[in-house]
Chain A
């Protein structure tokens, strides 16, 4: 079946512009995560959506970052007034939250963002 998809795969923008990154999770997955991976670094947690609950925004680095998830499916991560330090790969993952099995995350291919 279809996995997690993200678009665009690459985005180049100018400093100060706003960008929107999209994530389509696996159908039926109620949990959705956004991570940021800077060059040579691990994954930095940004935000977590779980069903209809209020999202966990504890990882967002500043108020320029926001995300929403419409209809419990597609999610958009928005970065306003981009800065050069926002350049990174942004990864989205989704997982099931039913049953007793470990909640394995399935990742998308990421969006590579370059802020000039």
Chain B
């Protein structure tokens, strides 16, 4: 069975600094997708970044980038130039595709607090 592990329940970072959130997963599949979602106090889950497993190039979205290590089954999120608005819960998610179905497995989340 697939699992997603986020080993950092809470983290904090100073405004304008860089922080990295870790995520590891376990799967025997070769074709899958990985996502990072952000859930601010408003509760609305928002997609931050996504990565296709068949792509070697790490995905980047403005201040957010990932370090995808397929062999190590690691998918960390780096937030550069942290802003107060980045304060939120961050969830790593794994999606598998099997005969027309798409199922997601989420980690338990990392609570990030950006300090002024």
Contacts A42-B106, A43-B106, A104-B35 given; indicate if A50 touches B101 (C-beta within 8 A). yes
Provide the residues of chain B in CB contact with A79, threshold 8 Å.
none
Interface of B is mostly: strand
A104: contacting residue among B47, B97, B108, CB under 8 A:
B47
| B8, chain A: closest CB distance, angstroms | 13
A3 (CB) vs chain B CBs: closest residue: B44
Number of interface residues of A (CB under 8 A): 25
Q: Complex: how many Å from CA A112 to CA B44?
A: 12
A102 (CB) vs chain B CBs: closest residue: B33
Number of interface residues of B (CB under 8 A): 25
Q: Is the CB of A45 within 8 A of B105?
A: yes
Provide the residues of chain A in CB contact with B108, threshold 8 Å.
41-42
Q: Complex: how many Å from CA A93 to CA B108?
A: 18
B41 within 8 A of A: no
| B98, chain A: closest CB distance, angstroms | 11
Q: Is the CB of A45 within 8 A of B104?
A: yes
A51 (CB) vs chain B CBs: closest residue: B100
Q: Complex: how many Å from CA A106 to CA B35?
A: 12
- A to B CB contacts below 8 Å, 6 in the list: A45-B104, A48-B101, A50-B101, A53-B101, A56-B101, A103-B33
B-side residues, CB < 8 A to A, are 6, 33, 35, 37, 42-47, 50, 52, 91, 95, 97, 100-109
Which 6 pairs from chain A and chain B are nearest by CB? A107-B45, A42-B108, A43-B106, A102-B33, A103-B102, A42-B106
